[in-house]
Amino acid sequence: MIRYFDGGMGSMLNLAAGELPELLNLTQPERVLKIHMAYAAAGADIITANTFGANPLKYDNCADIVRAGVALAKQTGKKVALDLGPTGKLLKPLGDLAFEDCVAAYAEVVKAGSGADLILLETMSDTYEIKAAMLAAKENSDLPVFVSMMFDENGRLLTGADVATACALVEGLGADVIGFNCGLGPKQLLPLVRELRAYTSLPIMVNPNAGLPEVINGETVYTVNAEEFSALMADIARVGVSYLGGCCGTTPAHIKALIETTKEIPDSVPEAKHRTLVTSYSECVELGKKSVVIGERINPTGKKLLKQALRENDMDYVLREGIAQRECGAHILDVNVGLPEIDEKAMLCRAVYELQAVLPTPLQLDTADTEAMEAALRLYNGKPLINSASGKEKSMAAVFPLAKKYGGVTVCLCLDENGIPETAAGRIAIAEKMIATAATYGIDKKDLVIDALTMTISTDQQNAVETLKAVDYLKNTLGVNTVLGVSNISFGLPNREAINTAFYTEALAAGLSGGIINPKSQAMMNAYYAHNALAGLDDSCTEYIRSATAIDTTVAPTEVSLYDAIIKGMKEESARCAAQLLDSTEALAIINEHIIPALDKVGDGFEKNTVFLPQLLMSADAAKAAFDAIKAHMILHDTAAVKGDKIIVATVEGDIHDIGKNIVKVLLQNYGFDVIDLGKDVPCETVLEEVQKRGVKLVGLSALMTTTVPNMEKTIRLLHDNTDAKVFVGGAVLTKSYAAMIEADWYARDAMESVRIAQEFFDTAD
């Protein structure tokens, strides 16, 4: 039978401006307990502790608040969920919160909430923060972990993940239940629930809002009543779920009606899926349907320039190599930085961090050093390929626990203590042993990829034959995905590309799931696209035609322009390019002809949902690096910098969330505006005072909480009554009609819209 969560705590508290809900656990416990009891009386099986925003980044007495919150919920006699919400900060490199600091913050909450029955991560919109919270939960508790995420109407998290990408990460890290809450109502969540069922093997939970917020008579309300809510939730229940409840706007009446309407609908756990998924923070690559290209170029073996770059800490070379491979068609990038004379652990972590800052491409973490492997796995934002484990007992004992904990897909090499078997049968036997051993660690074979090992034909004419026989059996009889390092086949032979291409083609025909190849080799990529076209894996031969008409590529990483460096988010390269341009170009020309067009290009992609928040922010950082180089040049040459038009931004009184406001600030600054950031929880009188004192004509206001929208309205009215300043507003609880009702001059649906508003306003004013 379906089990039921409670509804929205905030909906019942009716908080005054500036009142912090979690503090009430200590200051007004009876007020919190009354709400818990009301939900329990409505029939909820699970009561969510009032700890959503309780974390040590916000409260010095966090542990006391959490303990009190759990104790209050336990008084209902129901199961209690320790509620972990977002920290309110973006993690590095997008924000200023270090990953391990985020883990530590959540760990403090988990330890304090040990009396709960389960841990609920809810309203999560960033895969990296999900990973930090899950690691904190798993490392400090044995309680079941429920992960509930907040998607937008485009089916994306704030940082870009779609349902498949988020699901792969959450399942890989060992969640017990997965689902959705907040952001959307039941009507909007229904198609996402269907999509989640197609990917997940876990029980599903769904706790929507009571529709989307509206302003009626100056108050923020959710207009989906209990009867309508329960009817819509019945549609979700029939899709197949295990847990239902409510979020913003839902009351005990909603939960009671929900239970009455759905109690006869049986719960349904999705059937086990057998999809091999590798992800970054925003992209998901599936192995098994169509062979994928794994770029081999970030590996120092036989590459003098890469070796030199690694020794000199030249990360821009590594980034250019990664970008070039992606542009040539790589779906996954192999990352191997192993050199005897460098600190491999530190370098691998830096390479992963930097590559993920500029590329959404999933990575294969390639190292024989398990200490380096774990460090990279821990900070990786997604579900990576892990290269590799072998059939040696020591290797499996070292790698499989890491793969289980951090949720990667492990490449399994067909060799053991006796070396590499000469025959396909010998390699298959090792593969079967590794599959069986992995199962003892709780790793399904869908999270294994077998490398049958490519040995050069220059030493044994049967090497290719035996490898291909193994690939065929492993994929088509044993039902496990396969990978090969293709270029090994031609060592010691002339015209290696011809051998590599022919072998690659035969391996694809045999069922190769992923080839580790040089995607900058046009012959190899031609073979790949031609195979897909011939095998019926390329609708209307679209990819083949596009590749056949593309411009030829070169092997060496090419120098990039300032425009390209900004689009790709390459900070050091942007600064270098800007400095070079200053030798021949005026500063304003660089800004107007290179920096602004690049930001416009990225912004346009963001608005069209082809570029996501991480790329947007990294491009903004790259633009800032270019601006900094220009400013340094102007100071050196005594050239007065021109200040841009002034804009004040602030999060309104009572609201302590400033992620959205900070994103807007960064983008406006990079478009040349002089942004005055008043911070968060800003009284309306302070906004007015600063506008009058500084002569500002445009103000941006942010609010994330429904309870603080009245303060936004109050601030707008104060500004309109006393100044000629115009106001644009944004935030999760706002809509265009909502903004019009509180008499804002503009509604900014996202950060790029804020830029467009500012440009239009000042262009018109001029």
Closest of 453, 387, 391 to residue 417, by C-alpha:
391
% of the chain beyond a pLDDT of 70: 97
Residue 69 confidence (pLDDT): 98
Q: Report the Cα 155 to chain-centroid distance in Å.
A: 13
Q: pLDDT band at residue 16, thresholds of 50, 70 and 90?
A: confident
Using one digit for the tens of pLDDT, what is the confidence trace for 487-499? 999 999 999 999 9
Give me the phi and psi of 616, to 5 degrees please.
Answer: -60, -45
Q: Is the dihedral of CA 558, 564, 569, 570 positive or negative?
A: positive
Give me the phi and psi of 362, to 5 degrees please.
Answer: -60, 155
Using one digit for the tens of pLDDT, what is the confidence trace for 361-413? 999 999 999 999 999 999 999 999 999 999 999 999 999 999 999 999 999 99
Q: pLDDT band at residue 554, thresholds of 50, 70 and 90?
A: very low
Place of tokens 């429904």: 706
% of the chain beyond a pLDDT of 90: 81
570 in Cβ contact with 315 (< 8 Å): no
704 in Cβ contact with 731 (< 8 Å): yes
Residue 654 confidence (pLDDT): 81
Which residues neighbour 432 within 8 Å (Cβ) at sequence distance 6 or greater?
478
Using one digit for the tens of pLDDT, what is the confidence trace for 254-311? 999 999 999 999 999 999 999 999 999 999 999 999 999 999 999 999 899 999 999 9
- Using a 10 angstrom Cβ sphere, with 0-12 exposed, 13-18 middle and 19 or more buried, the burial of residue 539 is exposed
Give me the phi and psi of 619, to 5 degrees please.
Answer: -65, -40
Pairing type for strands 204-207 and 243-244 reads parallel
Does 742 or 471 have the greater pLDDT score? 471
Residue 553 confidence (pLDDT): 46
Two structure tokens written together for 488: 């090994």
Residue 558 confidence (pLDDT): 59
Give the H/E segment covering residue 729: strand 726-730
d(CA 444, CA 447): 6
Two structure tokens written together for 281: 């923070």
What's the mean per-residue pLDDT of the chain?
A: 93
Q: Which of 93-97, 145-149, 729-733 is modeled with the greatest confidence?
A: 145-149
Mean pLDDT of all residues in 220-225: 86
Pairing type for strands 385-390 and 363-366 reads parallel
pLDDT at 552 over 80: no
Residue 551 confidence (pLDDT): 55
Which residues neighbour 553 within 8 Å (Cβ) at sequence distance 6 or greater?
324, 327, 328, 520, 522
From 447-451, 510-514, 578-582, the region with the lowest mean pLDDT: 578-582
Does 385 or 643 have the greater pLDDT score? 385
Q: Is the peptide bond before 340 cis (omega within 30 degrees of 0)?
A: no
Using one digit for the tens of pLDDT, what is the confidence trace for 424-471? 999 999 999 999 999 999 999 999 999 999 999 999 999 999 999 999
pLDDT at 216 over 80: no
Mean pLDDT of all residues in 690-708: 89
Using one digit for the tens of pLDDT, what is the confidence trace for 440-453? 999 999 999 999 99
- Residue 126 identity (one-letter amino acid): D
Place of tokens 């977002």: 86
Q: pLDDT band at residue 639, thresholds of 50, 70 and 90?
A: low
Mean pLDDT of all residues in 486-515: 97
Mean pLDDT of all residues in 536-544: 94
